[in-house]
Amino acid sequence: MSTADGLQERLGLNSDVSLGLKTAAVLTYVFLYGPIFVILVMSFDAGRYGLRWEFSPEWYLNLATRGDLIGSLWLSLQIGVVVMIVSTVLAVVAAFGLVRFDWPRRKGALSTYLIFVPLTLPIIIYGIGLFVFFSQLGLGRGFIPIVIGHVMYTFPFATLVVAAGVIDLDRSLEEAAMDLGADPITTFREVTIPALMPNIVAAALFSFTLSFDEFLISFFVSGAGSIPLPVRIWGMVRADIEPEVYAISVVVLVISMTIAVIATRLRRF
């Protein structure tokens, strides 16, 4: 009986299930990408909320004249690069600290918790806290507070990515290098870092894109003179009168997706 069942399955009954699952999968992808497609469609729509969609590149052309948007994009890229560098360096150091040293049980656990708390607490709480903190210090808002907030937010993620590499790293590679006459510093430079490179690059790209797209922390600690792009987009969406928002969003999505594709090719998931 069971073999007959199996045969029936192979002959096509099973495809019902497959078909159902496949349909569900397709619908999920439509759900995931539909809104992104909508942004793309809207960015080329001549009239907005008009009854008819008409192709027009005018919003993209308008972007060139929007100095405020270009400035915010440039600021976000700058912040992203600084955050990427700082966060990645911290992540490499932290990953080795966490994975490689035998901590007395409690101290090890404490530093682990401290590093990973930022992953669980609501970002909005941190944004507000940072805002209050800088107000108290009289340092106000701007580039430096944003960078600090973003580093605290991105580097735990970056640490996880690098630490995964350090854990997987075959210790005998480093031992072999030392065995062949490389001192610890040479070993680190010649073997450890190159072997970890995919993880380090993935962590860097991840840090950059998290910072580039970050809104809530920036929302609370950005000032009049330095508004990162997500905060600018938020303002445009709330004001609801600037159709260029779709065009600039497409630019942001293209940058993020390009980085995502590069990064996911580097690292197994």
Map the footprint of another protein across residues 97-156, applying CB under 8 A. Answer: 97-98, 100-103, 111, 114-126, 128-133, 136, 148-149, 151-153, 155
Q: Which of 265, 269, 156 is nearest to 210 (CA)?
A: 156
**Residue reference for tokens 């609801």:** 240
Among 11, 49, 55, 239, binds another protein (CB under 8 A): 49
Q: Does 53 contact another protein by CB under 8 A?
A: no
Q: Does 42 contact another protein by CB under 8 A?
A: yes
Dihedral, CA of residue 174, residue 179, residue 182 and residue 188, to nearest 10: 10
Smallest separation, CB 222 to another protein (Å): 13
Q: Does 70 contact another protein by CB under 8 A?
A: no
Among 82, 146, 204, 206, binds another protein (CB under 8 A): 206
Per the document, the length of the chain is: 269
Smallest separation, CB 64 to another protein (Å): 20
Q: Which two tokens stand for residue 203?
A: 């962590």
Tell me which residues in 216-245 interact with another protein (CB under 8 A).
Answer: 216-217, 220, 230, 233-234, 237, 245
Helices (H), the chain: 2-8, 14-43, 58-63, 67-100, 105-120, 123-137, 143-168, 171-179, 184-187, 193-213, 216-221, 229-239, 244-266
Q: Does 31 contact another protein by CB under 8 A?
A: yes
Residue range at the interface with another protein (CB under 8 A); choices 55-63, 65-73, 77-85, 91-99: 91-99
Q: Which residues contact 86 (CB under 8 A, 6 or more apart)?
A: 147, 151, 155
Q: Does 160 contact another protein by CB under 8 A?
A: yes
Nearest CB to another protein, comparing residues 116 and 143:
116
> How many residues of this chain interact with another protein, rule: CB under 8 A?
108
Smallest separation, CB 3 to another protein (Å): 8
> What is the rounded distance in angstroms from the CA atom of residue 100 to the CA atom of residue 181?
22
Q: Cα separations (Å) of 181 from 147, 174, 178, 185, 226?
A: 42, 11, 5, 11, 52
Among 4, 11, 32, 239, binds another protein (CB under 8 A): 32
